[in-house]
Amino acid sequence: MGFGVEQSSGLPQQLSKPICVVSPQFVSPNPIHMLSGKKLLALSDGHFGVTDVNGNLMFKLKGKLLSVHGKRLLVDAAGNRILTLQKKLTSGRKRWQCFRGDSTDPRDFVFSAKQVNRANFKTSLDVFLATNRNQDVADFTVKGNWFQKRCAVYAGETTVVVAEINKKQNAQYIPFGVDGYTITAYPNVDYVFVVAVMAILNEINDEKDENGN
């Protein structure tokens, strides 16, 4: 896509087939390193953004939480609407739904993510793809500690890591004085899907901060 994306061969190839959730154009045979964090971007209409390792804007969230069913738009650097994120409350647990473009039509549903409680993990999400109608087993799980910016996305309930965020790894990419972190999508993993999951984590924890939790 023309971004200055840092690609390396240091991460293991663990997937038997590509993970394509949003679009094949967002799947690379190489690991994709991206950056996010406070003061990393001067965003006029959003507070979560992602750049490449050269500081070029790749994605940002637009919109504000105006109601229980608050919406966010994930757009690319040109302003093209890629995904809509919508918050819902289900049985007291926070659940986010993701749709293609600026739609919330069930026909454009991509995935949902909900908070869960897991021992030893301060941050934990279960992610269910649109094809997983029963939702007995999550298609992806997120585990870690968001406040320390150390989280990983796993394939289902396995130990296979498909993406991670890390405050220290590849720290050479983070400008001095910026409270930033890297987002790494592993080879053959849809990196826009990874960005969307991280955006949901960011929204959940920003709301916790606002509520003093």
* pLDDT-above-90 percentage for the chain: 37
In a domain, 9, yes or no: no
pTM score: 0.83
In a domain, 7, yes or no: no
Find the domain containing 56 and state its range.
24-211
pLDDT recorded at residue 66: 46
Q: Mean pLDDT across the chain, nearest whole number?
A: 79
In a domain, 11, yes or no: no
Q: Is the CB of residue 126 less than 8 Å from the CB of residue 116?
A: yes
152: its two tokens: 């990983």
CATH number of the structural domain spanning residue 84: 2.40.160.200
pLDDT in tens, 86-118: 988 665 567 899 999 999 999 999 999 988 876
Q: Is the CB of residue 211 less than 8 Å from the CB of residue 205?
A: no
Residue ranges in 129-177 assigned as alpha helix (H): none
Look at the chain and report how many structural domains it folds into: 1
In a domain, 14, yes or no: no
Q: Mean pLDDT throughout 170-188?
A: 73
Q: Is the CB of residue 84 less than 8 Å from the CB of residue 102?
A: yes
